[in-house]
Amino acid sequence: MNPNRTPILAGNWKMYKTAAEAVAVVTELKAEVAGITKAECVICPPFTALPALSAVVAGSNVQLGAQNVHWEKEGAFTGEISVGMLKEFGVRYPVVGHSERRQFFGETDAGVNKRAKAALAAGMRPIVCVGEMLAEREAGKTQDVVRTQVTGSLAGLSKDDMVTTVIAYEPVWAIGTGKTASPEQAQEVHAFIRSLLVSLFDAATAAKVRIQYGGSVKPDNAKLLLSQPDVDGALVGGASLKAKDFAAIVKAAV
Ligand code: PEP
Protein backbone atom coordinates (compact mmCIF):
# COMPACT_ATOMS: atom_id res chain seq x y z
CA MET A 1 0.00 0.00 0.00
CA ASN A 2 1.01 3.59 -0.47
CA PRO A 3 -0.09 6.29 2.01
CA ASN A 4 -1.21 8.50 -0.89
CA ARG A 5 -3.86 6.00 -1.98
CA THR A 6 -6.80 4.99 0.23
CA PRO A 7 -7.05 1.20 0.21
CA ILE A 8 -10.33 -0.21 -1.08
CA LEU A 9 -11.65 -3.60 -0.04
CA ALA A 10 -14.59 -4.90 -2.03
CA GLY A 11 -16.57 -8.07 -1.42
CA ASN A 12 -17.90 -9.78 -4.54
CA TRP A 13 -20.74 -11.98 -3.41
CA LYS A 14 -21.32 -13.56 -6.84
CA MET A 15 -24.59 -15.57 -6.89
CA TYR A 16 -24.77 -16.02 -3.13
CA LYS A 17 -27.27 -14.75 -0.55
CA THR A 18 -30.91 -13.80 -0.58
CA ALA A 19 -31.84 -10.27 0.45
CA ALA A 20 -32.61 -11.43 4.00
CA GLU A 21 -29.25 -13.21 4.31
CA ALA A 22 -27.49 -10.16 2.91
CA VAL A 23 -29.09 -7.87 5.48
CA ALA A 24 -27.88 -10.11 8.31
CA VAL A 25 -24.28 -10.12 7.08
CA VAL A 26 -24.08 -6.41 6.33
CA THR A 27 -25.69 -5.52 9.66
CA GLU A 28 -22.86 -7.41 11.38
CA LEU A 29 -20.23 -6.04 9.01
CA LYS A 30 -21.13 -2.39 9.53
CA ALA A 31 -20.69 -2.80 13.28
CA GLU A 32 -17.32 -4.52 12.73
CA VAL A 33 -15.95 -1.77 10.50
CA ALA A 34 -17.54 1.22 12.23
CA GLY A 35 -14.89 3.85 12.83
CA ILE A 36 -12.55 2.70 10.06
CA THR A 37 -11.76 5.80 8.04
CA LYS A 38 -8.49 4.86 6.40
CA ALA A 39 -9.90 2.21 4.08
CA GLU A 40 -13.02 1.95 1.95
CA CYS A 41 -15.27 -1.06 2.51
CA VAL A 42 -17.61 -2.06 -0.35
CA ILE A 43 -20.07 -4.93 -0.77
CA CYS A 44 -21.16 -6.06 -4.26
CA PRO A 45 -24.23 -8.21 -3.55
CA PRO A 46 -26.66 -9.78 -6.00
CA PHE A 47 -28.87 -7.06 -7.51
CA THR A 48 -31.91 -8.35 -5.61
CA ALA A 49 -30.32 -7.43 -2.26
CA LEU A 50 -29.59 -3.80 -3.19
CA PRO A 51 -32.93 -2.26 -2.11
CA ALA A 52 -32.74 -3.76 1.39
CA LEU A 53 -29.03 -3.11 1.75
CA SER A 54 -29.32 0.53 0.74
CA ALA A 55 -31.29 1.08 3.95
CA VAL A 56 -28.91 -1.03 6.05
CA VAL A 57 -25.74 0.82 4.95
CA ALA A 58 -27.22 4.34 5.23
CA GLY A 59 -25.00 6.42 7.50
CA SER A 60 -22.38 3.67 7.84
CA ASN A 61 -18.98 3.30 6.24
CA VAL A 62 -20.03 0.28 4.19
CA GLN A 63 -20.59 1.29 0.56
CA LEU A 64 -22.48 -0.55 -2.14
CA GLY A 65 -21.12 -1.96 -5.35
CA ALA A 66 -22.69 -4.19 -7.97
CA GLN A 67 -21.48 -7.11 -10.04
CA ASN A 68 -22.07 -5.58 -13.46
CA VAL A 69 -23.70 -2.70 -15.31
CA HIS A 70 -24.86 -2.21 -18.91
CA TRP A 71 -23.87 0.69 -21.12
CA GLU A 72 -27.34 1.57 -22.41
CA LYS A 73 -29.71 3.65 -20.28
CA GLU A 74 -32.58 1.23 -20.98
CA GLY A 75 -33.85 -1.04 -23.72
CA ALA A 76 -34.35 -4.61 -24.90
CA PHE A 77 -31.36 -6.14 -23.09
CA THR A 78 -32.78 -9.10 -21.19
CA GLY A 79 -30.87 -9.90 -18.02
CA GLU A 80 -28.88 -6.65 -17.94
CA ILE A 81 -29.04 -3.75 -15.48
CA SER A 82 -28.65 -0.02 -16.09
CA VAL A 83 -26.72 2.70 -14.28
CA GLY A 84 -29.99 4.35 -13.25
CA MET A 85 -31.27 1.14 -11.66
CA LEU A 86 -28.07 0.83 -9.63
CA LYS A 87 -27.87 4.48 -8.69
CA GLU A 88 -31.42 4.35 -7.34
CA PHE A 89 -30.03 2.19 -4.53
CA GLY A 90 -26.81 4.11 -4.00
CA VAL A 91 -24.39 1.88 -5.86
CA ARG A 92 -21.04 3.59 -6.20
CA TYR A 93 -18.69 0.81 -7.35
CA PRO A 94 -19.93 -1.48 -10.13
CA VAL A 95 -17.55 -4.33 -11.00
CA VAL A 96 -17.05 -4.76 -14.74
CA GLY A 97 -15.19 -7.46 -16.64
CA HIS A 98 -14.97 -9.98 -13.82
CA SER A 99 -13.25 -13.11 -15.12
CA GLU A 100 -16.42 -15.12 -14.57
CA ARG A 101 -18.27 -12.69 -16.88
CA ARG A 102 -15.44 -12.93 -19.42
CA GLN A 103 -15.15 -16.75 -19.21
CA PHE A 104 -18.78 -17.86 -18.91
CA PHE A 105 -20.72 -15.00 -20.50
CA GLY A 106 -18.44 -13.97 -23.33
CA GLU A 107 -17.69 -10.44 -22.18
CA THR A 108 -14.95 -8.74 -24.16
CA ASP A 109 -12.60 -5.84 -23.50
CA ALA A 110 -14.67 -3.69 -25.88
CA GLY A 111 -17.85 -4.42 -23.91
CA VAL A 112 -16.10 -3.92 -20.58
CA ASN A 113 -14.88 -0.57 -21.87
CA LYS A 114 -18.45 0.50 -22.72
CA ARG A 115 -19.70 -0.63 -19.32
CA ALA A 116 -16.92 1.27 -17.52
CA LYS A 117 -17.57 4.43 -19.53
CA ALA A 118 -21.31 4.31 -18.82
CA ALA A 119 -20.61 3.93 -15.10
CA LEU A 120 -18.20 6.87 -15.17
CA ALA A 121 -20.62 9.04 -17.12
CA ALA A 122 -23.20 8.37 -14.41
CA GLY A 123 -20.80 9.42 -11.67
CA MET A 124 -20.00 5.91 -10.48
CA ARG A 125 -16.55 4.41 -9.99
CA PRO A 126 -16.09 1.18 -11.95
CA ILE A 127 -13.89 -1.64 -10.69
CA VAL A 128 -12.37 -3.01 -13.89
CA CYS A 129 -11.10 -6.59 -13.59
CA VAL A 130 -8.17 -8.05 -15.51
CA GLY A 131 -6.08 -11.18 -15.07
CA GLU A 132 -4.50 -14.11 -16.84
CA MET A 133 -5.54 -17.77 -16.97
CA LEU A 134 -3.19 -20.45 -15.62
CA ALA A 135 -2.16 -21.64 -19.10
CA GLU A 136 -1.33 -18.06 -20.07
CA ARG A 137 0.85 -17.61 -16.98
CA GLU A 138 2.60 -20.91 -17.61
CA ALA A 139 3.23 -19.89 -21.22
CA GLY A 140 4.88 -16.66 -20.01
CA LYS A 141 2.07 -14.53 -21.43
CA THR A 142 0.86 -12.80 -18.25
CA GLN A 143 2.08 -9.35 -19.27
CA ASP A 144 0.73 -9.67 -22.83
CA VAL A 145 -2.71 -10.71 -21.58
CA VAL A 146 -2.87 -8.02 -18.91
CA ARG A 147 -1.60 -5.36 -21.35
CA THR A 148 -4.32 -6.25 -23.88
CA GLN A 149 -7.05 -6.25 -21.21
CA VAL A 150 -5.94 -3.00 -19.58
CA THR A 151 -5.50 -1.20 -22.91
CA GLY A 152 -8.83 -2.41 -24.29
CA SER A 153 -10.91 -2.05 -21.15
CA LEU A 154 -9.67 1.47 -20.39
CA ALA A 155 -9.52 2.80 -23.96
CA GLY A 156 -10.62 6.40 -24.33
CA LEU A 157 -10.84 7.22 -20.63
CA SER A 158 -9.77 10.72 -19.65
CA LYS A 159 -7.15 11.13 -16.91
CA ASP A 160 -9.89 12.18 -14.49
CA ASP A 161 -11.89 9.08 -15.38
CA MET A 162 -8.83 6.92 -14.87
CA VAL A 163 -8.20 8.28 -11.39
CA THR A 164 -11.83 7.54 -10.48
CA THR A 165 -11.60 3.99 -11.81
CA VAL A 166 -10.30 1.09 -9.73
CA ILE A 167 -8.44 -1.78 -11.39
CA ALA A 168 -8.67 -5.28 -9.92
CA TYR A 169 -5.85 -7.61 -10.89
CA GLU A 170 -7.26 -11.09 -10.45
CA PRO A 171 -5.21 -13.99 -11.77
CA VAL A 172 -7.93 -16.40 -12.87
CA TRP A 173 -6.04 -19.39 -11.43
CA ALA A 174 -6.28 -17.84 -7.97
CA ILE A 175 -10.02 -17.07 -7.97
CA GLY A 176 -12.01 -19.41 -5.78
CA THR A 177 -9.23 -22.00 -5.86
CA GLY A 178 -7.55 -21.35 -2.52
CA LYS A 179 -4.32 -20.72 -4.49
CA THR A 180 -3.21 -17.16 -3.85
CA ALA A 181 -0.61 -15.34 -5.88
CA SER A 182 2.42 -14.79 -3.68
CA PRO A 183 2.83 -11.18 -2.53
CA GLU A 184 5.80 -10.93 -4.94
CA GLN A 185 3.79 -12.29 -7.89
CA ALA A 186 0.99 -9.83 -7.14
CA GLN A 187 3.38 -6.89 -6.75
CA GLU A 188 5.14 -7.73 -10.02
CA VAL A 189 1.90 -7.53 -12.03
CA HIS A 190 0.58 -4.52 -10.10
CA ALA A 191 3.81 -2.63 -10.84
CA PHE A 192 3.50 -3.67 -14.47
CA ILE A 193 -0.08 -2.35 -14.63
CA ARG A 194 1.01 0.93 -13.06
CA SER A 195 3.80 1.25 -15.62
CA LEU A 196 1.22 0.67 -18.36
CA LEU A 197 -0.88 3.49 -16.89
CA VAL A 198 2.16 5.76 -17.04
CA SER A 199 2.44 5.11 -20.77
CA LEU A 200 -1.30 5.26 -21.45
CA PHE A 201 -1.93 8.36 -19.28
CA ASP A 202 0.94 9.92 -17.32
CA ALA A 203 2.94 9.37 -14.15
CA ALA A 204 0.77 11.61 -11.96
CA THR A 205 -2.39 9.80 -13.04
CA ALA A 206 -0.83 6.36 -12.64
CA ALA A 207 0.31 7.23 -9.13
CA LYS A 208 -3.27 7.93 -8.08
CA VAL A 209 -4.99 4.83 -9.47
CA ARG A 210 -5.91 2.15 -6.98
CA ILE A 211 -5.12 -1.40 -8.04
CA GLN A 212 -6.76 -4.17 -6.02
CA TYR A 213 -5.52 -7.74 -5.86
CA GLY A 214 -8.10 -10.51 -6.07
CA GLY A 215 -7.79 -14.26 -5.80
CA SER A 216 -8.34 -16.27 -2.61
CA VAL A 217 -7.65 -13.35 -0.27
CA LYS A 218 -8.34 -14.53 3.30
CA PRO A 219 -7.87 -12.99 6.75
CA ASP A 220 -4.58 -14.87 7.14
CA ASN A 221 -2.92 -13.77 3.88
CA ALA A 222 -4.39 -10.28 3.49
CA LYS A 223 -1.78 -8.37 5.49
CA LEU A 224 1.17 -9.62 3.45
CA LEU A 225 -0.55 -9.02 0.11
CA LEU A 226 -1.65 -5.55 1.18
CA SER A 227 1.85 -4.69 2.37
CA GLN A 228 3.09 -4.64 -1.23
CA PRO A 229 3.71 -1.09 -2.48
CA ASP A 230 1.41 -1.29 -5.51
CA VAL A 231 -1.38 -3.34 -3.91
CA ASP A 232 -4.08 -0.85 -2.91
CA GLY A 233 -6.75 -3.16 -1.63
CA ALA A 234 -8.48 -6.40 -2.48
CA LEU A 235 -11.44 -7.76 -4.38
CA VAL A 236 -12.62 -10.64 -2.23
CA GLY A 237 -15.01 -13.43 -3.15
CA GLY A 238 -15.47 -16.33 -0.72
CA ALA A 239 -14.05 -14.64 2.36
CA SER A 240 -16.40 -11.68 1.97
CA LEU A 241 -19.47 -13.84 2.61
CA LYS A 242 -18.78 -13.88 6.35
CA ALA A 243 -18.86 -10.53 8.12
CA LYS A 244 -16.04 -11.35 10.54
CA ASP A 245 -13.70 -12.64 7.83
CA PHE A 246 -14.29 -9.68 5.54
CA ALA A 247 -13.96 -7.24 8.44
CA ALA A 248 -10.62 -8.85 9.32
CA ILE A 249 -9.45 -8.23 5.74
CA VAL A 250 -10.60 -4.61 5.90
CA LYS A 251 -8.77 -4.19 9.21
CA ALA A 252 -5.61 -5.68 7.66
CA ALA A 253 -5.54 -2.64 5.36
CA VAL A 254 -5.42 -0.01 8.12
C1 PEP B 1 -13.58 -12.82 -6.86
O2 PEP B 1 -14.73 -13.24 -6.87
O3 PEP B 1 -13.30 -11.82 -7.51
C4 PEP B 1 -12.57 -13.54 -6.07
C5 PEP B 1 -11.36 -13.06 -6.01
O6 PEP B 1 -13.00 -14.68 -5.42
P7 PEP B 1 -12.17 -15.47 -4.26
O8 PEP B 1 -11.74 -14.44 -3.25
O9 PEP B 1 -13.17 -16.44 -3.71
O10 PEP B 1 -10.99 -16.12 -4.92
Give residue 20's pLDDT: 98
Give residue 8's pLDDT: 98
What are residue 12's DSSP bridge partners? 44
Nearest protein CA to atom 3 of ligand 1, as residue = 237
- Please report, rounded to a whole number, the percentage of residues in the chain having pLDDT higher than 70: 100
Catalytic residue (choose from 98, 107, 132, 136): 98
pLDDT per residue over 103-135, tens digit each?
999 999 999 999 999 999 999 999 999 999 999
Would you say the CB of residue 249 lies under 6 angstroms from ligand 1? no
pLDDT per residue over 178-225, tens digit each?
889 999 999 999 999 999 999 999 999 999 999 999 999 999 999 999
| Cβ–Cβ < 8 Å for 201, 193 | no
pLDDT tier at 1 (50, 70, 90 boundaries)? confident
Residues near 17 by beta carbon (within 8 Å), at least 6 away in sequence: 25, 45, 46, 49, 241
Give residue 209's pLDDT: 98
